[in-house]
Structure 1
Amino acid sequence: HPATEALVATLAGTEHDTGLDILKLENIAAYFREVRKKYHAFEGQLKGYDSRILVAQVPGGMLTNLEGQLKQQNAADKLDQVLAE
């Protein structure tokens, strides 16, 4: 199933606009990213959808590269700050 955030972004401004606030959905997604950290050992290969791609308007591949670069610089914890820029 597609992520809620993807559908909200796709339908925004159309006659089928959901009226949901993408920023509020991102806050919810951020909460669950933290919850997922607790259960990382049980997570499979498929990681799910990252709504920061929609909020930051960054292509998924670029986000993955950015995350890798931050890890190389021991700054992976700065990803949200970088995306806010």
Structure 2
Amino acid sequence: SMSATYGHPATEALVATLAGTEHDTGLDILKLENIAAYFREVRKKYHAFEGQLKGYDSRILVAQVPGGMLTNLEGQLKQQNAADKL
């Protein structure tokens, strides 16, 4: 999928987590997986543009920092040979 790293968790992860609870979304997890599989292939085409952050960093969600702001900051740090400061 196109989520994670600088963005929010994948929809299918949230749907699976809430399944069977009072907050069940009612969304079809199999349909979501098909959509996610499609976007995993799309994402491969843009791999060169991905930042260094891999996986989730809950601090992004807690601080409510927009993902675009982080990618811009990362790009600026790379230009100054200071990417390790991220």
Q: Does the C-alpha gap of structure 1 residues 72 and 42 become closer, same or farther in structure 2, counting only changes over 3 Å? A: closer
Q: Is the 8 A contact 1:8 1:20 kept in 2?
A: yes
For the pair shown, the structure with the greater C-alpha radius of gyration is 2
How far 1:14 sits from its partner (Å)? 1.2
Q: Does the C-alpha gap of structure 1 residues 38 and 63 become closer, same or farther in structure 2, counting only changes over 3 Å? A: same
Q: Is the 8 A contact 2:18 2:25 kept in 1?
A: yes
Q: Is the 8 A contact 1:26 1:52 kept in 2?
A: no
Q: Does the C-alpha gap of structure 1 residues 45 and 65 become closer, same or farther in structure 2, counting only changes over 3 Å? A: closer
Secondary structure of 2:69's partner?
A: helix
How far apart in 2 are the matches of 1:21 and 1:53? 28
Structure 1 vs Structure 2: percent identity of aligned residues? 100
Aligned residues: 78
Q: Is the 8 A contact 2:15 2:25 kept in 1?
A: yes
**Partner in structure 2 of residue 74 of structure 1:** 81
Gaps of at least 5 residues in structure 1 are 79-85
Secondary structure of 1:45's partner?
A: coil
Secondary structure of 2:65's partner?
A: coil
User: Which structure's residues are more often helix, by fraction?
Assistant: 1
Q: TM-score, normalised by structure 2?
A: 0.50
Larger RCO, structure (CA 8 Å, separation 6 or more): 2
Q: Does the C-alpha gap of structure 1 residues 51 and 13 become closer, same or farther in structure 2, counting only changes over 3 Å? A: farther
How far apart in 2 are the matches of 1:27 and 1:57? 29
How far 1:45 sits from its partner (Å)? 2.2
Gaps of at least 5 residues in structure 2 are 1-7
How far apart in 1 are the matches of 2:72 and 2:49? 24
